[in-house]
Amino acid sequence: MLYSPEAQDAFWGAMHPDTRAIFDVFEQRETFTYPYIEYPELFLTMAKAMPEMATLPVDPKSSELLVKVIPLLATMPFRQCIFSVHWLNEQASDSPIGWGTLCYLEALNILNNVKDHPHYDLSRVMVDRISAVMRYRKALGLYAQWPLKTIE
C-alpha cells in the first residue's frame, strides 16, 4: 500500500540521511496534519484513488479534480504529501506533465489569483512544501558542486 509505514520507509530510506533529517524538521513543525497512525482509513482510501487518478487524461475538467485533491495532500504529513506528488509524477509515462505537478500548479494558481478560494490556505501549504523541497534540492546541488580546495 502506498502510504503504509513500510512503503514510506522504503522510499525515504533510500534518501541521504541529511535529506531525511531536514524533512523531519519540516514535518515536526506542522501541527495541522493527519498522520497514518491516527487515520489509516484515510490513507487506504487515498492509496486506492491515486492509481485511478494517475490514469485519467488531462483535460479542462481536470481542474475540478485537482482542487479536490489539494486539501487531501495538504493535510497529510509533509513527507507523505511530497511522496504523493512524486508518485503521481512518476505515473505520467507519456504525458509531458504529471498529476503531481498539476496539483502544485493548481495550488499556485489559487494562491496567486484566487485569494477568496475556500482552499486558499491549503494551497499555500502545498506551494510552501514543494517550494521548500525545490530550495533544498537547489542548495544540495550547490553544495555538491562546492570546490574541495579554495582557489589561491
**3-class DSSP state of 8:** helix
Which three cell numbers mark 114? 484566487
Instruction: Say if residues 2 and 10 touch (Cβ distance below 8 Å).
Output: no
Provide the pLDDT confidence category of residue 117 given band limits of 50, 70 and 90: very high
Which three cell numbers mark 144? 555538491
Provide the pLDDT confidence category of residue 98 given band limits of 50, 70 and 90: confident
- The per-residue pLDDT for 151 is 52
User: What's the Cα-to-Cα distance from 107 to each of 11, 53, 140, rounded to whole Å?
Assistant: 25, 17, 25
Is the whole-model pTM more than 0.85?
no
CA-CA distance, 122 to 127, in Å (whole number)? 9
- The per-residue pLDDT for 105 is 94
